[in-house]
Chains A and B, each alone.
Chain A
Amino acid sequence: MTSLILAEHDNNTLADSTARTITAALQLGNSVEVLVAGDGCAKAADAAAQISGVAAVLKVDDPLYAHPVAEAVAALILSIASRYDAVLAPATSTGKAILPRVAAVLDVPQISEITRILDADTFERPIYAGSVVQTVKAPAGTKVITVRPSAFAAAAAGANAPVVVTPAGPDPGLTRFVGETVSQSTRPELTTAKTVISAGRGVGSKDNFDVLLRIADKLKAAVGASRAAVDIGLTANDCQIGQTGKVVASDLYIAVGISGAIQHISGMKDSRIIVAINKDEDAPIFKIADYGLVADLSPVLQEIDLELARRGYA
């Protein structure tokens, strides 16, 4: 069983989701190769070569891959796919856009967002906003799989695999990258942060949200949000956690002014410790919270900020 993993990177560093996908691929079989397609991506390719279990890195360094345009990356994967038994990518906005194209052209079904591997053909994946877990067996043929990063630990560094320079694939010429607005954040990356503090509609005002940000800084936490908080403009779309946003499994998850709709819970219920702050004692979020505080969040946020400062969190 030889697997190909589509790496996610910014040319210089490898996203943690890649190391997590490598862990999943190693459970399928021991021959794992990583495709690093980028423009000036030598550092990212070297980083991939150092991850334990990686047998080889295919480095495709070409302006065509300056941005991961789905049509071009899918065409590149298809140009080498016949060498592999499985193609995997993290279930990120990039992986989710590219892999179905690969599966369709190979005429195989895709297994989306697996959370567990039972054997080389059998997987668990959540359906219905994570309220049901389905066990599925893939048919014979190439396996095309997206992996939910939060469900797998990151493979550690400690290897030195060869980096094989590989030619670019065809340019489908269908899509042109124009630009991007990247939400600037000095905070940890949401999906892999140990601590996440999330705002819901209840946070309401920018004043409250600013206090929440101060708390995030003191706890070195990433900032998440419910859909409602994004919709009212409290924070950017890439903070949304849930069925149709990001999935986190942090050590500590603090939900502030979030009611606990299934669509939100599906993105955070695998966190180790959940704290809920909500003025409605019947809010569903309390059913899954380890520690619940029934209170008006506005003074509570102020108090948490002051109390953390008093306890030496800077």
Chain B
Amino acid sequence: MKVIVTVKRVVDYNAKVRIKADGSGVDRSNLKMSMNPFDEIAVEEAIRLKEKGKADEIVVVSIGPSEAADTIRTALAMGVDRGILVRCDGEVESLAVAKILKSICVAEQPGLVITGKQAIDDDAGQTGPMLAALLGWAQATRVYRLDVSDRTARVERETDTGLETIDVCLPAVVTTDLRLNEPRFASLPSIMKARKKPIEEKTAADLGVDTTPRVTVLGVKEPATRAAGIKVESVAELLDKLQQAEVI
């Protein structure tokens, strides 16, 4: 079975983004960029499937600027076999991303697609289920455990009330949650080896997808800030304050 994993190049989770002076968007210049953490988990899960003999080839796809090739290289160094970079400059909305991925899936015929449950920049959480719907495939979001068989996969997923187990028909799209695995670091030899692995470049136009944004971003702003509070010296003082505020 072939597995496709998707990776997005995002501002590192430790970096603080600034708002452009004119409020038109977020200033990403000079910020550390990394692979979306949920996508790292997706890459790791695909590699484990290969190590268990459940997958025979893993293809990583990224949609983004030329620098997204670095993100693909990271995945290749972790153990993915080959990459596809769909070059797009500027914001690409989830629906367009899903359409691009659909076109790649139609050509590549994977048995499983693994995406992150959300990207930590736009926090939209749409790509996986949108792709599944466009393909008419099953989906499992927020995956906590994945067990792949011939025609189905048994999935445990994190829900708002606990954990849910479902069986999905393959091919399917699954999206990763934080506790699915702990991604490995690439070793130096594998980083060297990854340099020789192929990355195929395409454009959205090659795949027949229009990436013009359909949602208009009117502006961005800082959230309301909270005034700094006070330090209390004792438990008694703390409880006094909370009683005065009538919250206990």
Residues of A within 8 A of B (CB): 67, 69-71, 74, 92-94, 96-105, 107-113, 122, 126-139, 172-183, 191, 194-195, 219, 227, 230-231, 236-238, 243-244, 246, 251-252, 262-263, 269, 272-275, 281, 286-294, 300, 303-304, 307-308, 311, 313
Residues B1-42 near A (CB distance < 8 A): 11, 13, 16-17, 19, 26, 38
Interfacial chain A residues near B248, Cβ < 8 Å: 195, 219, 252, 308, 313
Q: Chain B nearest CB: distance from A113 CB in Å?
A: 7
Given contacts A246-B160, A287-B228, contact A112 B247 (CB under 8 A): no
- Which A residue's beta carbon lies closest to that of B128? A100
Which of A98, A107, A134, A181: most chain B Cβ within 10 A?
Answer: A134
Asked if A93 and B166 sit within 8 Å, CB to CB, the answer is: no
Complex contact A183–B169 (CB within 8 A)? no
Indicate if the CB atoms of A183 and B133 lie closer than 8 Å.
no
Q: Are B160 and A94 in contact (CB-based, < 8 A)? A: yes
Q: Is the CB of B124 within 8 A of A291?
A: no
- Closest B residue to A135 by beta carbon equals B218
Give the residues from 100 to 145 in chain B that come closer than 8 angstroms, CB to CB, to chain A.
117-118, 120-134, 136-142, 144
Kindly state the interface size class of chain B when it binds its partner.
35 or more
Compute how far the CA of A102 lies from the CA of B177 in the bound complex, rounded to whole angstroms: 22
Q: Shortest CB–CB separation between residue A163 and chain B, in angstroms?
A: 26
- Interface-forming stretch among B48-56, B187-195, B200-208, B234-242? B234-242
Whether A252 lies near B162 (C-beta < 8 A) is no
Separation in Å of the A126 CB from the closest CB of chain B? 7
Between-chain CB contacts (< 8 Å), 7 pairs: A105-B134, A109-B215, A133-B222, A172-B136, A174-B138, A182-B161, A237-B163
Q: Name the CB-closest residue of B to A177.
A: B166
Q: How far is the CA of A290 from the CA of B221 in the complex (A)?
A: 23
Q: What CA separation (Å) do A177 and B217 show in the bound complex?
A: 39
B214 on the A face (CB < 8 A): yes
Contact A291 B217, beta carbon cutoff 8 Å: no
Contacts of B169 in A (CB 8 A): 173-175
Report the bound CA distance from A112 to B16 in whole Å.
22
Residues in B with CB closer than 8 Å to A177 are: 164-166
Most A-side CB within 10 Å, residue of B160, B163, B226: B160
Establish whether residues B231 and A137, one from each chain, have CB atoms under 8 Å apart when the complex forms: no
Pairwise interchain contact A70-B129, C-beta atoms closer than 8 A: yes
Known: A132-B26, A252-B247, A294-B231. A97 touches B141 (CB 8 A): yes
